[in-house]
Amino acid sequence: MLTEIASSLQPGRPIVKGFYEKRTGSIQYIVTDPDTKACAIIDPVLDFDPKSGATATTSADELLASIEGEGATLAWILDTHPHADHFSAAGYLKDRTGAPTAIGEKVVEVQKLWKAIYNLPDSFPTDGSQWDRLFADGERFKIGNLDASVMFTPGHTLASIAYLVGDAAFIHDTIFMPDSGTARADFPGGSARALWKSIQRIMALPDETRLFTGHDYRPGGREAQWESTVAQQRRENEHLFQARTEDAFVALREARDRELPMPQLILNALQVNIRGGRLPEPESNGRRYLKIPLDALPGAPWGV
């Protein structure tokens, strides 16, 4: 089940609801213009059980039920990057609602990289055509009357973007809650040095900017959290407090990443998420299959 909490707001600011998906520690968002009731979904989850191979749309359906219950209208389905730890429900939500899907324009580079890893056929397109819109750094768009813009924030992946909507910034897996530090940068195409530069862009936003992270892993067993501010992160983020220069941060992040096993779903998830959150096409027997490349991520620590 999802845990849903609405962010406290003043009139004229976006209404933000976070939905915590505990299997993957993911937070999905609905951000709504209070004036027009137009809204966007950010980073929706398609449920997947790797033990049984079962898929479900429970998480995505709860987002739609919340939108319907609020009398809102879905204007956008937005992903911040091709996720390595869960399937995106963007394709399913597009089919259900007709709302346009979007992601950062650098997704085409991620598609090319992972197309090679999976040895996908030449016919697989690596032009981002699986989405309705590919956003460039600084590009602007609307959610109702709300002004929204895109910030290119690579490092965790080479295609990561953040969405700035009013006083809220949806920063995905760049910065976590202060007691969890920052995101890993050792995936194919990732870079700790690029991550540092992206974090500095976020930290340059006004102190009161509300930051909404993409995951929370509940350190110490605390309740899930996902909202902070720029000022709070500057004061309290454990990685930014320990490493105050670029070189120090890169050393800290790379040392930490060398100890981390790959996410359980990375080889499952990327082949779905480079397709815009759609499962592979059915084969001749009507069943869909995931393809797992062996020894494709050399040097990764083994999980326990």
Q: Quick: pLDDT tens for 264-280.
A: 999 999 999 999 999 99
76 in a domain, yes or no?
yes
Angle at 80 between CA 154 and CA 165, to 5 degrees: 105
The confidence score (pLDDT) of residue 130 equals 98
Burial of 142 (0-12, 13-18, 19+ CB in 10 A): middle
289 in a domain, yes or no?
no
Could you tell me the pTM of the whole model?
0.94
179 — phi, psi (to 5°)?
-80, 0
Q: What percent of the chain has pLDDT over 90?
A: 94
Nearest to 40 by CA among 186, 175, 146: 146
Q: How many domains does the chain have?
A: 1
Residues 6+ apart with CB under 8 A from 9: 15, 16, 34
**What average pLDDT is seen over the chain?**
95
For 276, the token pair is 């815009």
Q: Can you say whether the dihedral through the CA atoms of 165, 166, 171, 177 is positive or negative? A: negative
Statement: residue 4 has pLDDT above 60: no
For 118, the token pair is 């999976």
The confidence score (pLDDT) of residue 304 equals 66
The confidence score (pLDDT) of residue 302 equals 85
Statement: residue 207 has pLDDT above 50: yes
pLDDT tens column, 210-257: 999 999 999 999 999 999 999 999 999 999 999 999 999 999 999 999
SS (H, E, C) 280-291: CCCCCCCCCCCC
For 149, the token pair is 């813009």
The confidence score (pLDDT) of residue 11 equals 40
302 in a domain, yes or no?
no
**Per-residue confidence at 141, pLDDT binned at 50, 70, 90?**
very high
288 in a domain, yes or no?
no
Per-residue pLDDT, averaged over 126-132, amounts to: 98
CB atoms inside a 10 Å sphere around CB 118 = 19
127 in a domain, yes or no?
yes
DSSP 221: G
- Are 199 and 240 in contact by the 8 Å Cβ rule? The answer is yes
287 in a domain, yes or no?
no
pLDDT tens column, 52-88: 999 999 999 999 999 999 999 999 999 999 999 999 9
Helix extents (H) in 135-263: 192-203, 230-236, 238-242, 246-257
Per-residue pLDDT, averaged over 176-190, amounts to: 96
Which residues span the domain enclosing 120?
Answer: 2-273
24 in a domain, yes or no?
yes
Burial of 230 (0-12, 13-18, 19+ CB in 10 A): buried
The CATH number of the domain holding residue 18 is 3.60.15.10
- Are 211 and 234 in contact by the 8 Å Cβ rule? The answer is no
The confidence score (pLDDT) of residue 220 equals 94
304 in a domain, yes or no?
no
